[in-house]
Amino acid sequence: MIYIKDLMSGLDIFKALSSDIRIQILELLAKNQSLNLNDLANRLNLSNGAITMHIKKLEESGLIEIHTTGGKHGIQKICYLNKDKLMVDLRSKDVENLYEVEIRVGHYSDYQAIPTCGLATKDSIIGDFDDPRYFADPQRIDAEIIWLTEGFLEYRIPNYLKPNQAFREIQFSLELGSEAPGYCDNYPSDIFFYINGVELGSWTSPGDFGDTRGTFNPEWWPPHLNQYGMLKLIRINQDGSFIDGCRISDVSLDQIQLNYKSDITFRIAVNERSVNKRGLTIYGKHFGNYSQDLLARVLYDVKEE
Taking the domains of the chain in order of start, what are their residue ranges?
2-81, 97-302
State the average pLDDT over residues 263-278.
97
Condensed to tens digits (0 to 9), the pLDDT of residues 122-137 reads 999 999 999 999 999 9
Closest CA to 157 of 167, 146, 165: 167
Q: Which residues, at least 6 apart from 193, have a Cβ–Cβ distance to it below 8 Å? A: 172, 199, 200, 201, 202, 203, 234, 241, 266, 267, 268, 269
For domain 2-81, the CATH class is mainly alpha
Same fold, 2-81 and 97-302: no
- Residue 77 CB neighbours (<10 A): 17
Is the pLDDT confidence value at 119 over 60?
yes
pLDDT (0 to 100) of residue 68: 82
pTM (global) more than 0.85: no
Helix (H, G, I), strand (E, B) or coil at 226: coil
Is the pLDDT confidence value at 82 over 90?
no
Helix (H, G, I), strand (E, B) or coil at 134: helix
| Superfamily (CATH H level) for 97-302 | Galactose-binding domain-like (2.60.120.260)
Percentage with pLDDT > 70 across the chain: 94
Return the bridge partners of 204, or none. Answer: 190
Pairwise CA distance, residues 41 & 49, whole Å: 9
Q: Which amino acid is at 80?
A: Y
Percentage with pLDDT > 90 across the chain: 76
Strands 145-157 and 110-120: antiparallel
Phi (first) and psi of residue 39, to 5 degrees = -60, -45
